[in-house]
Amino acid sequence: MKNITLSVDEEVLTAVRRHAAERNSTVNRLVREFFASIATQNDRARHARSRLRELSEKSKGRVGKKNW
């Protein structure tokens, strides 16, 4: 696991620490979970776009002239 350094406004950090404590968590854990959720969402979106292209290429349906 890699370490990173972040700069955060003191008031924001205080609020985030409070938020983490209320959830029996840590700021570090919240950041890790947030980053993991971003990575997961991006992977799912990339997979969905790839699957749509694949299905589109296999489809026998055709669209006429687009007027939009």
Torsion of CA 31, 35, 38, 39, to 10 degrees: -160
What integer pLDDT is reported at residue 39 of this predicted model? Answer: 85
Q: What is the pLDDT of residues 10-64, one digit of tens each?
A: 999 999 999 999 999 999 999 999 999 988 887 888 888 888 888 888 887 777 7
What integer pLDDT is reported at residue 5 of this predicted model? Answer: 94
| Residue 67 confidence (pLDDT) above 90 | no
Distance CA 32, CA 17 (A): 14
What integer pLDDT is reported at residue 43 of this predicted model? Answer: 83
Question: In what helix (H) or strand (E) does residue 47 lie, and over which residues does it extend?
Answer: helix 27-58
Residues found in the chain: 68
N-term to C-term CA, the chain: 49
| Residue 8 confidence (pLDDT) above 80 | yes
Quick one: how far is CA 25 from the chain centroid?
A: 20
